Amino acid sequence: MEKERQLNFLEAVREAQKQILEMDPRAFVLGEDIGIYGGGFGATKGLIDQFPDRVLETPISEAAMTGVAMGAAILGKRPIMEIQFSDFLTVAMDQVVNQMAKIAYTSCGSMTAPVVVRAASGGGTGAGTQHSQSLEAWFAHVPGLQVVMPSNPYDAKGLLMAAVASPDPVLVLEPKSLYKTIGYVPEEAYEVELGKVKVIQEGEDLTIIALGAMLPLVQEALESLPYQVTLVDLVTISPLDRQGLLEAAMKSDKTLIVTESYGDFGVAAEIMASLVELGYQGRLKRLTSLFSPIPAAQSLENQVRPSVDKICQTIEEFYRED
């Protein structure tokens, strides 16, 4: 049966790109080692065989490839650019922040740069300080740039297809710790709507808002807890679905936000502030990574990032405080 079709996260991303290239002659893929090698994690494996003229191997220069992608997008193409690690976006900050995100505004709408940037994000793999960061709050702070983060293979495919269809630049942050996770993915092309939260389940005891790799950790934690929980997958970081978040939070008098990115000046802080400003009067907590560089040793990395045990402990704190 179709509903039994299972792919892992990377296979879903690869299938999305293949179908986009088949359906849209404007689309092409570019990045470092994305051709014969198939990309740093294998997300473009085999694409160059089928689309030899539309898989562009670039030099090791994130700034240069971003400039190429932006120029092509302005001229009507639909580039999908792979950044092997989201940390390397720091090398292309001028192109992404000062040019790509602002071209529609500075040209009074006469030009747009609908670039899709894929980037492996976050920790959980022992990849070290410069390869494990969660920088989504940086980019969500930039007007003109959409930022999304899938938590499962279904959304990995659907969000990428929706991003390519968007008239604006989209940064798709893929939690690398989820690349081997398996889930249901339809064979046909489909889109997951940008800018909307997903309510995974509903309950009256507690609302949990999770992002990216934190969602499966929360789901695992809930298996051992007796509470009825409304679980929300944030999906899109910018634009933030504030009304959808409020509606989910209002289902209980307690709300927990779980993100891999830091709490300091972060996504969780923005969600908390938004809920308060919109009139939510329940209690709020956040669980985020510790404000520290990400250690290379996985045993230490596990202490910095949220875990199933930390999620359970934080939920129990809500009830001890009653």
The confidence score (pLDDT) of residue 1 equals 45
Spatial distance between the Cα atoms of 280 and 283, rounded to a whole number of angstroms: 9
Place of tokens 């956040």: 286
Give 195's Cβ-side CA count (13 Å radius): 8
Tens digit of pLDDT per residue, the chain (322 long)?
Answer: 456 899 999 999 999 999 999 999 999 999 999 999 999 999 999 999 999 999 999 999 999 999 999 999 999 999 999 999 999 999 999 999 999 999 999 999 999 999 999 999 999 888 889 998 999 999 999 999 999 999 999 999 999 999 999 999 999 999 999 999 999 999 999 999 999 999 999 999 999 999 999 999 999 999 999 999 999 999 999 999 999 999 999 999 999 999 999 999 999 999 999 999 999 999 999 999 999 999 999 889 989 999 999 999 999 998 887 7
Spatial distance between the Cα atoms of 170 and 303, rounded to a whole number of angstroms: 31
Cα separation of the two ends of the chain: 47
Phi and psi, residue 289, nearest 5° = -70, 150
The confidence score (pLDDT) of residue 65 equals 96
Q: Residues with Cβ < 8 Å from 269, sequence gap 6 or more?
A: 263, 286
3-state secondary structure 103-149: HHHHCCCCCCCCCEEEEEECCCCCCCHHHCCCCHHHHHCCCCCEEEC
Active-site residue, 131 included: yes
The catalytically annotated residue of 14, 54, 78, 131 is: 131
Q: Which ranges of the chain would DSSP assign to H, the alpha helix?
A: 9-23, 47-50, 62-74, 93, 103-106, 136-140, 153-165, 214-222, 242-249, 267-277, 298-304, 308-320
The confidence score (pLDDT) of residue 2 equals 55
Helix (H, G, I), strand (E, B) or coil at 29: strand
* CB count in 10 Å sphere of residue 240: 18
Spatial distance between the Cα atoms of 71 and 295, rounded to a whole number of angstroms: 37
The confidence score (pLDDT) of residue 319 equals 84
pTM: 0.96
* C-alpha dist (Å) from residue 260 to 19, 40, 204: 31, 22, 25
